[in-house]
Amino acid sequence: MRLDLFLKASRLVPRRTIARQLCDAGRIKVNGIAAKASKELKQSDEIEIIRGEKRLVARVLEIPASKQVPKQSAGSLVEIVSSQTVEEPLLP
């Protein structure tokens, strides 16, 4: 599944367009490497998202079979590894 679709399905990002904008700005990394929105994700990949002063690292536990995921199951797709606030916004 594409990175932008996964971020929306897992509810880590509210909309696919925001996921694409973050990827284009270099604010999303997969396994430590800046990723494009079209990057294909695999189970156990680590996603780092930097939004403003917040940095979130999540591990992919499961790739859904479809784009639409019920709200109750969205949380089971990822495991939050770390979530922190940085004093100054990180630049790409």
* 2-55 pLDDT, tens digit each: 999 999 999 999 999 999 999 999 999 999 999 999 999 999 999 999 998 899
d(CA 25, CA 40) in angstroms, rounded, equals 18
Query: For domain 3-85, is the CATH number 3.10.290.10?
Result: yes
Q: Which of 21, 87, 12 is nearest to 45 (CA)?
A: 12
Q: Is the pLDDT of residue 81 over 70?
A: yes
Q: What is the pTM of this model?
A: 0.87
Q: Which of 35, 26, 31 is nearest to 91 (CA)?
A: 26
Residues 6+ apart with CB under 8 A from 73: 64
Q: Which residue reads 């992919």 in tokens?
A: 60
